[in-house]
Chains A and B, each alone.
Chain A
Amino acid sequence: EIVMTQSPATLSVSPGERATLSCRASQSVNSNLAWYQQKPGQAPRLLIYGASTRATGIPARFSGSGSGTEFTLTISSLQSEDFAVYYCQQYNNWPPYTFGQGTKLEIK
């Protein structure tokens, strides 16, 4: 089973600034990685798949990069609605699909 590790656990950033979230896989997942956003009391929402392709309706300030074992989600200019928990997930080797433990993005 591939283990996904996200860092940091909590990231404090001011609105308007840039946020960079990291995700590492225990072995290569090629580019088969997705990012999800989850707000309190809501279901996760797909942001990025294929490591860098934005899902339908996702603003351009969200971008994903990386391949193999190292991945990054960047939010270029944080809006108030972006403060949430973010999860990465690999779908290269399944079953099972595996998720990172999440990064909480909070207002500084």
Chain B
Amino acid sequence: EVQLVESGGGLVQPGGSLRLSCSASRFTFSSYAMHWVRQAPGKGLEYVSAISSDGGSTYYADSVKGRFTISRDNSKNTLYLQMSSLRAGDTAVYYCVKDQKYVDTAMVTRYYFDYWGQGTLVTVSS
């Protein structure tokens, strides 16, 4: 079965930086777009960032734009999230997510999230 293993979380001071990694296995990593979704303690799910399969296209939520950078190394089957200028509001569990495409009844290609990593906790506090 697909495996996604995040690492790199921890305690960081406000204004600091952190790089998260997600090691992927048991699927052809270079064929899939990948995503980061976060969940603040006791809260719901927030979509953070995405990267296309070849790394050529990226997306960022407004809440992290200009501070976070998503990237991938297909030779290492690894997804990254470089986080800088961290704020208390960035405190959350960060999940690495794989998507899966299918063609809907209107013959349009769609993408849903089929596998999630176990998450890594980022705590921003002084």
Which of chain B's residues has its CB closest to A97's CB? B47
Does B107 lie at the interface of the complex (its beta carbon under 8 Å from any beta carbon of A)? no
Provide the B94-126 mask, 1 if CB < 8 A to any CB of A, else 0.
010000001011100011111111110000000
* Complex contacts, A102 vs chain B, CB 8 Å: 44-45
Q: Does A100 contact B (CB under 8 A)?
A: yes
Question: What count of chain A residues pass the 8 Å CB interface test?
Answer: 26
Complex: how many Å from CA A91 to CA B35? 13
In the complex, the answer to whether A31 meets B105 with C-beta atoms within 8 Å is: yes
Q: Which B residue's beta carbon lies closest to that of A43?
A: B116
Q: Judge whether B59 is part of the interface by a CB distance below 8 angstroms.
A: yes
User: Are B117 and A43 touching (Cβ within 8 A)?
Assistant: yes
Number of interface residues of B (CB under 8 A): 23
- Please report which residues of chain A, range 10-45, place their CB below 8 angstroms from some CB of chain B when the two chains form the complex: 30-32, 34, 36, 42-45
List the B side residues contacting A44 at CB < 8 Å: 45, 95, 113, 116
A49 at the A/B interface (Cβ < 8 Å)? Answer: yes
Q: Is B61 on the interface with A (CB-CB < 8 A)?
A: yes
Chain A residues closer than 8 Å to B115, beta-carbon distance: 46
Mark each residue of chain B from 8 to 44: 1 if its CB lies under 8 Å from any CB of chain A, else 0.
Answer: 0000000000000000000000000001000000001
Q: Is A3 on the interface with B (CB-CB < 8 A)?
A: no
A94 to B111, CA, bound (A): 10
Chain A 69-84 interface 0/1 with B at a Cβ cutoff of 8 Å (1 = within): 0000000000000000
Q: Is the CB of B104 within 8 A of A95?
A: no
Nearest CB in chain A: distance from B119 CB, A: 6
Central interface residue in B45, B110, B113, B114, by most chain A CB within 10 Å: B45
Residues on A lying within 8 angstroms of B by beta carbon are 30-32, 34, 36, 42-46, 49-50, 55, 87, 89, 91-92, 94-102
Residues in chain B within 8 A of chain A (CB atoms): 35, 44-47, 50, 59, 61, 95, 102, 104-106, 110-119
Q: Other CB < 8 Å A-B pairs besides A44-B45, A96-B61, A99-B47, 7 of them? A: A34-B113, A36-B113, A44-B113, A89-B112, A95-B47, A95-B59, A97-B47
